[in-house]
Structure 1
Amino acid sequence: MASMALLVMLCLLATQATSSQDHQPAFGFIKGLVGCHKGEKNVTDLHKLKAYLERFGYPVSKAHSGDDEFDDSLECAIRAYQLNYNLRPSGALSPETAAQMMMPRCGVPDVVNRTTQLASGMKRRSLAFRAVSRYSFMSGNPRWPASKTNLRFGFLSNLPSWARQPIFNAFGQWDAGSRFTFQYVTDLSQADLQVGFYSGDHGDGAPFDGPRGVVAHAVQPTGGRMHFDAAETWSVDPTPGALHLETVAVHEIGHMLGLGHSQVQAAAMYSGVAPGTYKLLHDDDREGVRALYALP
């Protein structure tokens, strides 16, 4: 009887969250747009694609942001996205591009305040786009003061007890892979970093969008906030169909240290995270934080 109870407990710990399998994925609308290209008009849900691109840092023309017309600015934004993800920069919504866009991901935008020139037919346009070669930094290169190498973290009351150990593990990875040390505190008034679980609109101006969309987000230094979407299916161990909490936490801690997204797919700071994926800190992540803090 005791062994049966233990088995049930382990199963509950292995996959924790409200089930997302019966809900339409937040980015599921993109599947119906595969193949669309410049010149098409009245394309159902195309305005949602424009909002998606704008949300993650690929601007489209404000004059057409709310309509369903595939114009020059949308082609340019898609091309910028494709370049950032090492996809063929056709400017059309190819199956490969749609698959990348539909992947669950971090809510922090890919693109920060940099400018590059991107080919658009015979023209070249200037966009607020950074074509990252590998690691990147948050906008303005925010960082913790040089004297602040010990960061204290605490858990909000809405964090489930099963989530504590994976998040401890994630801080441990950064403790071993950076100049920072991390100390757990129970008094939130003493915490530099606060961790919580939320659903939908939770008052920070970045509402979660439900299952298999934005899975988490974090604030750059020295904001110190990391939020996970409680509507996702989370796992303590790598589990098919569930998001590995430690993997996502490692990514979000990187943002709290000042790192942006990486183009290296194996890096913890890569924006997308497929269910069942387990990642550890990558050399690219460690090199990024060393470069940000000007360490050898």
Structure 2
Amino acid sequence: MHHHPCNRKSITVVSFFFLLYLSLHNPQTIEARNPSQFTINPSPDVVNISEIKRHLHRFGYLPRNNNDSDAVSFEQALSRYQKNLGLPITGKPDSDTLSHILLPRCGFPDDVEPKTTAFHTGQKYVYFPGRPRWTRDVPLKLTYAFSQENLTPHLTPTEIRRVFRRAFGKWASVIPVSFIETEDYVVADIKIGFFGGDHGDGEPFDGVLGVLAHTFSPENGRLHLDKAETWAVDFDKEKSTVAIDLESVAVHEIGHVLGLGHSSVKDAAMYPTLKPRSKKVDLYIDDVDGVQSLYGTNPNFTLSGLLASETSTNLADGTMIRSEGLIYSTLSTVLVLGLLHF
């Protein structure tokens, strides 16, 4: 979606949302600050109900034949959206919900088949419908390659390869799967490329921000990134306010390649949104538990290694970010891991 600043006089947010919610069929608008605009005085963006509904349609919350006047369905869809993104569940287009709707994100739908294993009731990860996974000879080895015709002008091929090597390494460290780079794009299991607009897979990209990337379920292996984005590996060098960290997106999309859906845990790599000039490159316990339920545990995986990774400091445009409540979350899962894998 593309949004444009306006100069309308601000009104009381609560009363405006209430009136808007009661009159969904009217072409009223909601004013909200665009979280992707990191300026001192960002301009407000206008989001109307039809745009919110398009977002809910796009990511699996409303059926295509939904009646525009069906306020009940709209409220239910918003409630599911809020639940899946770990937001307060109000069923209304409140400010938290609008902020997330405006954020850049992965193009994979959120509303997919939930996990059903009793041991995992405390976790928030989900799978693709049908729970597909890669089924090859053990030990499992997957090859990946980059399209030489579809790269980004913002990074060199060497930088791109280095980023993906690290990203694949994150997942390989927790499951018994190895990822091997190959030059043969045609026969590679995982095919990576930067594409613009309608690129022939039925999922066209939408330009700067909006959808950042999308991936198909196992064993398809296509991993596509939006060529329109300002992809970055170093925010000290790339000063654009809309720069997107490539490694963060790569880690997320590889999770989809392996069969994971989106998590509602905001610290998880599989959470669907990512702010410009921010980084989320480490796996969270929710990511690890989910992918190990599909492939088992890497024999060299240790809880202490995960703790060290999760508590590491990420630098995002000079800002230090540290996960909170991590030790409690991780230690509470160690017994679950033991029951599952021993």
Normalised by the size of structure 2, how large is the TM-score?
0.68
Tell whether 2:81 aligns with 1:78.
Answer: no
8 A Cα contact 1:61 1:73, kept in partner: no
Structure 1 vs Structure 2 CA RMSD: 2.8
Q: Give unmatched runs, 5+ long, in structure 2.
A: 29-47, 116-120, 298-340
Matches within 5 A, 1:174-213: 174-213=171-210
Counterpart of 2:3 in structure 1: which amino acid?
G
Shift of 1:249: 0.4
Shift of 1:170: 1.0
Q: Which residue of 129, 135, 144 corresponds with 2:134?
A: 144
Normalised by the size of structure 1, how large is the TM-score?
0.78
Name 1:39's counterpart in structure 2. Answer: 23
Tell whether 2:111 aligns with 1:111.
Answer: yes
8 A Cα contact 1:39 1:70, kept in partner: no
2-side partners of 1:48 and 1:104: how far apart?
15
1-side partners of 2:90 and 2:291: how far apart?
33
Per-residue CA deviation, residues 172-218 of structure 1 (Å, 9 max, x unaligned), is: 22222221100000012331000000011100000011111000001
User: Matched residue pairs, number?
Assistant: 254
User: Do the aligned partners of residues 245 and 63 (structure 1) sit closer, same or farther apart at CA in structure 2, a change above 3 Å counting?
Assistant: closer
User: Do the aligned partners of residues 47 and 178 (structure 1) sit closer, same or farther apart at CA in structure 2, a change above 3 Å counting?
Assistant: same
Following superposition, which runs of at least 4 residues in structure 1 exceed 4 angstroms of deviation?
29-34
Per-residue CA deviation, residues 78-123 of structure 1 (Å, 9 max, x unaligned), is: 11111222322222110111001111100000011469xxxxxxxx
Matches within 5 A, 1:162-241: 162-238=159-235, 241=242
Matches within 5 A, 1:249-268: 249-268=250-269
Tell whether 2:86 aligns with 1:53.
Answer: no
Q: Give unmatched runs, 5+ long, in structure 1.
A: 1-25, 116-130
1-side partners of 2:87 and 2:24: how far apart?
22
1-side partners of 2:259 and 2:200: how far apart?
22
Relative contact order, higher structure (CA 8 A, sep 6+): 1
Identity in percent: 40
User: Do the aligned partners of residues 30 and 209 (structure 1) sit closer, same or farther apart at CA in structure 2, a change above 3 Å counting?
Assistant: farther
Per-residue CA deviation, residues 34-65 of structure 1 (Å, 9 max, x unaligned), is: 8231433222542222121011110157252x
Q: For residue 177 of structure 1, give the secondary structure of its aligned residue in structure 2.
A: coil
Q: For residue 167 of structure 1, give the secondary structure of its aligned residue in structure 2.
A: helix
Per-residue CA deviation, residues 142-170 of structure 1 (Å, 9 max, x unaligned), is: 00115261000000121242422212221
Q: For residue 186 of structure 2, give the secondary structure of its aligned residue in structure 1.
A: helix
8 A Cα contact 2:151 2:227, kept in partner: no
Q: For residue 154 of structure 1, give the secondary structure of its aligned residue in structure 2.
A: strand
Shift of 1:134: 1.3
